[in-house]
Every structure is written in structure tokens, then in C-alpha cells.
Structure 1
Amino acid sequence: MARTYKTRMKKRKRQNRNKRLLIFAFLLICGLIYIAFPETPYDHQEKHLQATEKQTKPEKKEDQHPDQKEEKQSRIVTKDDNAQLDEYLKSIEFSGTALIVDEGKIVTSKGYSYANRKQKVPNTPDTVFYVGSSQKAIIAAAILQLEEKGQLSVNDPVSTYLPDFPNGSNITLYHLLTHTSGIRGHKEGNGYISPKDLIQDIEEQGIKNGPGKWDYKDSNYSVLAYIVSTISGEPVDQYVTEHVFKPAGMKHAGFYKTFAKQAHQSTGYKLNALKKLYTPDIPDLSQLYGAGDIYMTAYDMYLFDKALYERKIISDESFTKMFTPNKATYGMGFYVSPGSYSSHGVMPGYNILNSFSLTGSRYVILFSNIQNNIKSFGKVNNRIYSILNAY
């Protein structure tokens, strides 16, 4: 009897051990399958990139969170109706968002390459970029609006608003608007600086020469932004949001402090001496107050240009002032050529082209998040116009 009991126990132990071995073998096989065939974030982004280039509208999904639905509805539609334009932009290795309008119709609204190369996030029409000096036209529009309201004149001397400004009785707002003030300008640092301290530094730097000579300086527009704030009685970002962004319909435009909160933000890149891409440091953009502290999508820039041309945000008289060149074919925030108006912005990691025809029927807007891989956006602009002319 004792021998029979011991035999049964040995048999039961062998069965339990065999079960444990089977379970272990099963788990081991599952682990090997997972390691051999994972679905990585890279795979997901690659699929998403291909879909972004092909789809013209986001696919509808059921049971979405209300916030997700709202974001879908605010998405900017992708357009790719001109194959020659598409091939050209690919051939020059353009990285960013292109928005091209011909005869009042959007023919290209599309992202190229990556907004974030490390995470493989593609550029799309919804991607926001810093626009650098292209924002100067926005500050110029704000000054012209205040002139229309009788709150200032572009012919006022700067000393009217800044009594301690060097040569302020001879330098007018017009000189600031057209980069003919003769000031030396702010010496940019890296950390935060208040608008008041920035203006004080501009004053302390003094003047280089008397007014009238062309000398492009960001500080001209920093002073103008400060005057907008002083006259309107509100921070310049608040004034611009209420009186430029909203009436123009620019829903994705904002100032640098909220850039990091954007769902579709871009990362800027630059080629080093070995032609390798890296992300350059950007100074605290309080250093570029009024002259390079705004972000937006390419579509927002189109809406701004269109609002100017259709006189939605400035009058016909102000439009004429803005686009009448003074020195170096520069008006107020825009260069003026025989066939088009254009602005250009360069920042660490970013290169911006904004151009529209004198007739308002054609727009070429290129927002790139590689600062220096394309030598001349002016030549690119001309080539795009040539393609459109032949289309």
C-alpha cells in the first residue's frame, strides 16, 4: 500500500513538472514572436506619412472623444493638384509646408518630409512654424490700423512716444517701418528680456547715422511693437490676436510662449559644415519682440495676405502706404517687385518665403524647417511662378 501511494505521488509530481515546462515553453515562444515581429513607432509613422501625402480629407472615425472631433474639424485640407509643382519641391528636397494658390484656387497645400526627424513626425498643412521677419508685416498692419483710428501718424517723430529715444525728434515711425531710421539696434542675448528693457537697450545703443539711409534692423520693428502696445493700452500679442489674427481667420497663429503647447509644432534644423542636420539653439524669443516671436501655419499666412489684399484689416489708403517702396524696394514689412509682393524670414532652424502677385490671384508660401538646405528661396519662388504660368 505504501509503495502504491509513493508511486502515485511520483507520477503526480512528474505531471505537474511537465505542465510547468509546457507553460514556460508557450510563454517563451510568445516572447520570441513579439521580438521578431514588433509594430514599432517608426512603422506607425511611416504609414501615417504615406497617408498624409495621399489623403485629401481626414478619415471619419466613430466614438471619438469630443476634443478629438474638434481637432479633426480644424484640420487644414491637403491639396496636391499640380504634379509638376510636387515633383519640383521634392527634387530640391524641400522640408516643410507648401501653400500655393493660382487663380484664386489652392493647388498645393501639403507637407514635405518631417516636422520632427527623431520621432518621424511628418510635416502637414497643420504644422506650425516660426515665421521670423515675415511677421514684420503684421506689426506694420497694426501701426496702420492705429493710424486709421487717429491714434497716431506714421509721420510722427518717435520722441512723441519715447521721449528719450536717440535722435527721436528726427526719426519718424515711417523711418522705422521702412528700415531707414539709422539706429544701431539691440544686441541680442539668449535669456528673457522684458519689452521695456529691450527698448532701453536700443536707446542706449544709439544711432549709426541720420534717418533716410536703408539699413535693415530687427529693432526698428521692436520699437514699433512697443508703440502699438503703448498706444493701444494692451500687450502687443493681445492686440495682434484681436485685431489681426481673428478678423483674418488665422486660427493657428500665436506668440512664442504658447508654441510648445501646439499639437502640430515643428522642430527646426540646420546643416553643419559636414552637411549633417542638427537642431540649432533658439534664443529666448523675447529678444526678437515684434520682429520674430510669432508662429503660424502656411495657411494662416495665406489668410493674412488675403486679408490685406481684400482690405479686411487695413484700408485701401493704408494698403497703398504698405506696398509703396522706399529704399531697396522695401515698403512696410514687404519687398515690392514688378510682379509680386514678398516677405522673407530666417531663424535658427527655419526659412520662410511669403509671396503673392500684384493682382492677388497667385500666392506662394513656403515654410521650411531646415534653415539652409536651399540656397535661394527667391529662385524657388520664380521657378514656381514659371511652372504656374505654363500650367
Structure 2
Amino acid sequence: MKRAIALLLAAAMAITMLASCGTNEKQAYLNAMLEGTGFSGVVLVTKNGKTVCEAAKGTENKFSNKKITADTKFCIGSVSKQFAAAAILLLRQDGQLSADDKLSKYFPDYRYGNELTIRHLLDMRSGIREFYDVEYIDDAFTELPTGELRGVITNDNTVEENREILEDWLLRQPLEFEPDTAFEYSNSNYFLLARIVEIVSGQSYNEFLRERIFKPLGMTHTTFIDDVDLFGQPDMAQPTVTPQTVYVGVTMGLGDMISNARDIDRWLTSLKTHELLDEESVDMMTTDYTNEDDDDDEEEENYGFGIRPCGDGLFHSGYFSTYLTMIYTAPETGFNVFAVTNDDTNPNIDISEIGWNLIDGLDI
């Protein structure tokens, strides 16, 4: 309720300022929305590569006075999934795989390998069981491996050991439903997609993304949770509570990236310019594969390949500890929106509401 009231007041202030400000009304709108909320994070709105408005507030951590800027890095959670989808589509463009390949081609001993395809993983219609449970620890959104895995997947293991344990477990689980009969968001799908990238390319998943996506797009501030010290990473906003999530190895493909506003803006723009993915691949990625027969056909459940179609735009959110991210792009108009906080425990802030208020208020 506090969030809703704060955002309504901010929106009302923004509308007043929007009416009175003729020089940079979009910036005034954003400033008014964040006024008095104690926002810690970054908001960046661009159109065709040019900044429309931006805000960067707060400090990188509670022990430092170093200010957050538009270049500051954050964990971006499930926004990472669209990069796993893109990696698969790049391999498809190379002629190395098909979205309709059966999983038995990559996991020969998987009992459902002849029933499931790569496409079922991409569009979340596989029926493969979710391996994460959600809990709230210290008021932070926390994903932990499901109960039977908690004593096995630990931070005492190496990244490789945890990934091997998780893959073996996933390939032994019964399906939750018959493939392609329902949509169900499951992180497990994108872990397996990342493994397929490794199997096909012969590279580590992280190296493939660096070589084929980050480097060509100039995403010089983007890396992976498993490759850095989360609390020692330079120019990074720290979570406002100590993360309780067991994350070593098992966020691969599904929530493993650290990035910043400008790098994500480059990525979103590439969906319009086809700098990496050709028109056919982008069309495949941005088609809504849910349907009216699914259990939940609400707008938020629309799903393509790692991204959610919504009207004329595309969006996705991401959670990790106290990080909350929202991205939105409208390829036809060239607008991109990136909003992130490292302090989702702040009751005055809801990143998704900030994002949607900007999209509505700025007529994006």
C-alpha cells in the first residue's frame, strides 16, 4: 500500500511538472516520480540510441560514499534469459542446430528426450520441473534449490560440480505436464539451454556470450556472477542485505549476468538493427507462444523466447536478492527503458511500476 500511495503521489507530481515544463518535460517527469522515494538505482530511457531521460541515485554500498551512476553495474536476474535464447538463435543462424531438435540429440539418456525439443525449453512449454523454491529472507527475494537439493548443491562445491549435480537431477525428474499443453515459467529450461550452447559450440556458455554477443555490441561492463567476487566487483552496486541464495554455478543461462544501463541499451537496440540476430531470429524470439488454453493468460504471462511480448513492445523483469530489474523495448519506435534497484526492500519503490508509469506517461 505504501508503494502504491508513493507512486500515485509521484505520478500526480510528475503530471503537474510535465504540464509546466517545456524544456525537458520527460526528465522532469522522471525526477518527480522518484522524488522523496529514497530510490537507489538507475533509470535510463533512450530513443534510437539517444538519451531521453535518466536518473542515477544512491551509493554503491552502505560502507562507501561512491555515487551510483548510469555506468554502475547491477545483477539483472532473469533479464539474463533473453541472452540464452539469443545464443541458441545464433547457433541456429550458424546452421548448427534447429529449434525443433529433440533433446535426445544433446542428452541421449534423457527419458523425455524424444518428446521435448529446444523450442519447448525456449517458450517455457516443456513441463520440466522448476528447481528453485522462493523464500523471503531478511525481506529479500531469495531463490534456493528445492529442498532435496539443498544439502547437495552448496557453495562448498565448485561451479562445475554444482552444474553437474543439477543437470543430473533435472534429467531424472518427471514432467509436470505433457509438453506443449501449457505454459509454466521454469528456470530449469534456461539452465538446460545454456548447457546445449556449451555442447554445440564446444565453448563455455560464458565465453560464447562474451565472444558472440558482448564483444560485438561493445558491452564492456557485462559479466557473470560466477566469474567475479560479488562484493569485490568494481563499480557495482551491492545488495542491501547479504545474499542468502546458493548461486554458484546454477544461475547459468537463467539469472547469471551482471550489467549496466548502457550495455543493456545496446543489446535492446540490436533487436531493432539486427546487428546480431537476423529478422527471422528476432521474429522467433518475440512471438507470443502462450495461448488462451493455458492456465493463466494474463498479459504478464505472455512469453516468447526469453522475453515477453506486450502490445507493440517487449519486456522482462529480473530478481536476484535485493536487485530488481525491468527492461522494455519498442522496436518500431526505437524506445528502450531500463530500470534497476539494488534495494528492493525499500517500501516506496516498485521497479515494474516505475517502468510502466514511464512507458505510459512518456507515451513510449
Q: Same fold per TM (> 0.5)?
A: yes
Q: Work out the CA distance in 2 between the residues paired with 1:80 and 1:104.
A: 19
Amino acid at match of 1:268: P
* 1:232 aligns with one of 201, 213, 224: 201
The CA distance in 2 between the partners of 1:174 and 1:357, in whole Å, is 24
Q: Map 1:136-215; keep pairs closer than 5 Å.
A: 136-186=81-131, 188=145, 189=150, 190-191=154-155, 192=157, 193-194=159-160, 195-212=163-180, 213-215=182-184
Counterparts of 2:276 and 2:304, CA distance in 1? 17
Q: What do the CA deviations read for 1:14-60 (whole angstroms, capped 9, x no partner)?
A: xxxxxxxxxxxxxxxxxxxxxxxxxxxxxxxxxxxxxxxxxxxxxxx
SS at match of 2:336: strand
Cα deviation, residue 81, structure 1: 7.0
> In the TM superposition, what whole-angstrom CA distance separates every residue of 1:273-304 from its partner, at most 9, and x where no partner exists?
xxxxx334232331212111110111111111
Q: Report the Cα offset of residue 375 of structure 1.
A: 6.5
Answer yes or no: is the 8 Å Cα contact 1:279–1:349 preserved in 2.
Answer: no
Q: What is the distance in 2 between the residues matched to 1:205 and 1:105? A: 48
Paired residue secondary structure (2:30): helix
> 1:285-296, aligned counterparts within 5 Å?
285-296=248-259
Q: TM-score, normalised by structure 2?
A: 0.78
**CA separation in 1, counterparts of 2:36 and 2:100?**
47
Q: Deviations over 1:309-367 (max 9, x none)?
A: 21011110000000001013100111111131001101111101010114142111012
Contact 1:259 / 1:265 at 8 angstroms: preserved in 2? Answer: no
Range 283-292 or range 344-353, more displaced: 283-292
Other-structure match for 2:234: 263
Q: Structure 2: how far apart are the matches of 1:358 and 1:87? A: 27
- Assess if the C-alpha contact under 8 Å between 1:356 and 1:363 holds in 2: yes
Residue correspondence of structure 1 range 373-384 to structure 2 within 5 A = 373=346, 376-384=350-358
Kindly indicate whether residue 223 of structure 2 is the aligned counterpart of residue 254 of structure 1: yes
Deviations 1:129-162 (A, max 9, x none): 1111101000000000101111100011111111
User: Cα distance 1:168–1:372, how it changes in 2: closer, same or farther (>3 A)?
Assistant: farther
Measured in 1, the distance between the counterparts of 2:36 and 2:102 equals 49
The amino acid of 2:215's aligned partner reads K
Unaligned runs of 5+ in 1: 1-78, 270-277
In structure 2, stretches of 5+ residues that fail to align are 1-23, 133-144, 291-300
Kept in 2: contact 1:94–1:112 (CA 8 A):
yes
Q: Distance in 2 between matches of 1:319 and 1:92?
A: 37
1:134 to 79, 100, 120: 79
Aligned to 1:349: 322
Closer, same or farther in 2 for the Cα pair 1:92/1:375, shift >3 Å?
closer
CA contact (8 A) 1:80 1:108 kept: no
Q: Distance in 2 between matches of 1:323 and 1:203?
A: 28
Task: Classify 1:377/1:266 alpha carbon distance in 2 versus 1 (closer, same or farther; 3 Å).
Answer: closer
Q: Distance in 1 between matches of 2:95 and 2:331?
A: 28
Q: How many residues align?
A: 304
| 1:306 to 2:306 alignment | no
Deviation, 1:201, is 1.4
1:88 aligns to 2:51 (yes or no): no
Greater RCO (Cα-Cα under 8 Å, separation 6 or more):
2
Q: Secondary structure, in 3 states, of the residue corresponding to 2:60?
A: strand
Percent identity of the aligned residues? Answer: 28
Q: How far did residue 92 of structure 1 move?
A: 3.9
Distance 1:80 1:302, change over 3 A: farther
User: Which moves more between the two structures, 295-304 or 184-193?
Assistant: 184-193
The verdict on how the C-alpha distance between 1:196 and 1:80 changes in structure 2, with shifts beyond 3 A counting, is farther
Secondary structure of the structure 1 residue equivalent to 2:110? coil
Partners of 2:340 and 2:351 within 8 A in 1: no
1:221 matches 2:190: yes
State the TM-score, normalized to the length of structure 1. 0.73
Contact 1:98 1:298 in 2 (8 A): yes
Moved more, 320-329 or 221-230: 320-329
Q: 1:200 to 1:206 in 2, by over 3 A?
A: same
| Counterpart for residue 112 of structure 1 | 57
Structure showing greater Rg: 1
